A and B are shown apart, each in its own frame.
Chain A
Amino acid sequence: MKVLNIVEAAYRGTLEEQDDTIVWICHAMKGASADIDVLLRGNAVNYAVKAQDASGLCFGAARQTQPPQLANDLVKLKGKGAKIFVVDDALRERGIEPSELIEGVDFVSRDKLAKLFGDYDQVWHW
């Protein structure tokens, strides 16, 4: 079974979780030998931006020691064999240049999503 996992909501609890929990669960499912890929749409396209830096969060003397590294998590997920698709219209709308992104993402336009979905047995929108 081949599944496309869609991430759309972005920065939802990522500081508290130190992860995006959907990218995380994709890693975990890959660990269980799942045949999965990821599609970033809407604000989640920003996850592919290399320059993200969430370090330095501190409450009183309680300092966060493991800030989320969302772009790197996508790189590692790709390293495990998952394709990372990014909706290019969403990038343009947000003024994100391709040069700002991690290497190896696959661009897909919004009007080609229907065709992309046809390549998967199931499509899970988280």
Chain B
Amino acid sequence: MAKYLLIESRDPFENNIVARQYDLAVNLVKEGNQVTLFLVQNGVLPVRPGNLSSLLTNAAKAGVEVLADDFSLRERGIAAAKLAPGIKAVPLSIVIDQLAEGRKAIWH
């Protein structure tokens, strides 16, 4: 089993390839890996309960740890307390922790 950190900086409203990154995260879990999907920059735009937040909620249900950069949320006026189910607001320092842990890290 390996550990992965997938950092998603883009949003699925403008880029249809982003949803495939969410699928990749789920597939990595299915392969027996531990996976964090870390949303940053516009990557946090789908976290409000809405049209595409279910993609993230479903990823979380499938075992992906879905985290959102608290600064990116605040920058976009997204209340950390009002995220779609399965998504947690965290500081960016988590990325450094997971890099230091040696996770395979992929920025998209």
Contacts and interface: CB of A to CB of B under 8 A. Distances in A.
Interface stretch (B27-35, B38-46, B54-62): B27-35
Interface stretch (A12-20, A69-77, A113-121): A113-121
B107 A117 contact: no
Interface string A102-126: 0000000011011101101111110
Q: Interface size class for chain A?
A: 10 to 19
A121 B105 CA distance: 10
A6 B24 CA distance: 14
B65 to A, nearest CB: 16
Contacts of B100: none
B104 A114 contact: no
Given A8-B17, A42-B17, A113-B24, A118 B31 contact: yes
B106 A125 contact: yes
Contacts of A124: 106
Contact of A114 (B17, B31, B105, B107): B31
Interface residues of B, number: 16
Interface in B62-108: 104-108
Interface in B6-32: 17, 20, 23-24, 27-28, 30-31
Interface in A1-55: 6, 8, 42
A77 to B, nearest CB: 21
A42 B108 CA distance: 12
Given A113-B24, A114-B31, A123 B106 contact: yes
B55 to A, nearest CB: 16
A114 B30 contact: yes
Given A8-B17, A110-B20, A123 B27 contact: no
Contacts of B2: 118
B25 to A, nearest CB: 9
Interface of B: 2, 4, 17, 20, 23-24, 27-28, 30-31, 33, 104-108
